[in-house]
Structure 1
Amino acid sequence: MSNAFKSIEQGLYEAINYAEGKLKGTIVHELSPVDVKTIRENVGMTQNEFALAFGISIGTLRHWERGDRTPQGPARVLLNVVAKEPQAVLRALNAT
């Protein structure tokens, strides 16, 4: 069996155990809720500036700010990092 298959198999077993309420040995990563509007305002950007700077469509940003949708996956991670270190993220994105 390949290492990739073993890793996937382990993840599936953990997911099944978690779904069944068996949390022993299961690693659960929980991210805090993201208040996108507050993050943007703390950075001091308009919606257009924020969307352009961080590669987010303006429509998606507006949905997040209204609460119609919630950032997921990499977008949520990016927003959590922007909330803590906005200038570092901006420097990294502007580095060429």
Structure 2
Amino acid sequence: MEQILFDDLMQSLKEAKAIARGQAPASRRFKVAPPDVKVVREKIGLSQSEFARLMRVSVRTLQNWEQHRRSPTGPAAALLKIVLTAPDVALKALHA
């Protein structure tokens, strides 16, 4: 069984390498649209400075997100999604 697992992993790595080089199409792609930061902020009724402090980013970063010059990524994007989906829970957790 270990050899079968190893062979499967090696095949997956070969496929990933081919996809990365553009030699094979990916079997599926996921596109996640970042939330509209201004909409999220206005939904919970905070000023830019209050929301930036809550998100632990600079006001300038928040303004760049709101004006679509930059997009939040990683943990910031995940936190924005949580704030948008469950603002009461998120605010309670962030203020604790």
Structure 2: gaps (5+ residues): 1-5
**Percent of aligned pairs sharing the same letter:** 38
Q: Which residue of 2 aligns with 1:94?
A: 95
State the Cα RMSD in Å.
Answer: 2.6
| Alpha-carbon separation, structure 1, partners of 2:67 and 2:90 | 24
| Alpha-carbon separation, structure 1, partners of 2:90 and 2:26 | 38
Structure 1: gaps (5+ residues): 1-5
1:56 aligns with 2:57: yes
Q: Which residue of 1 aligns with 2:25?
A: 21
1:46 aligns with 2:50: no
Runs of 4+ more than 4 Å apart: none
SS of the equivalent of 1:75 reads helix
| Alpha-carbon separation, structure 2, partners of 1:42 and 1:87 | 11
Deviation string 1:3-62 (CA, Å, 9 cap, x unpaired) is xxx9xx78x837445543131xx6x55423310011111111110111112212111100
Specify whether residues 43 and 68 from structure 1 end up closer, same or farther in structure 2 by C-alpha distance, changes over 3 A only: same
SS of the equivalent of 1:77 reads helix
Q: TM-score, normalised by structure 1?
A: 0.71
Q: TM-score, normalised by structure 2?
A: 0.71
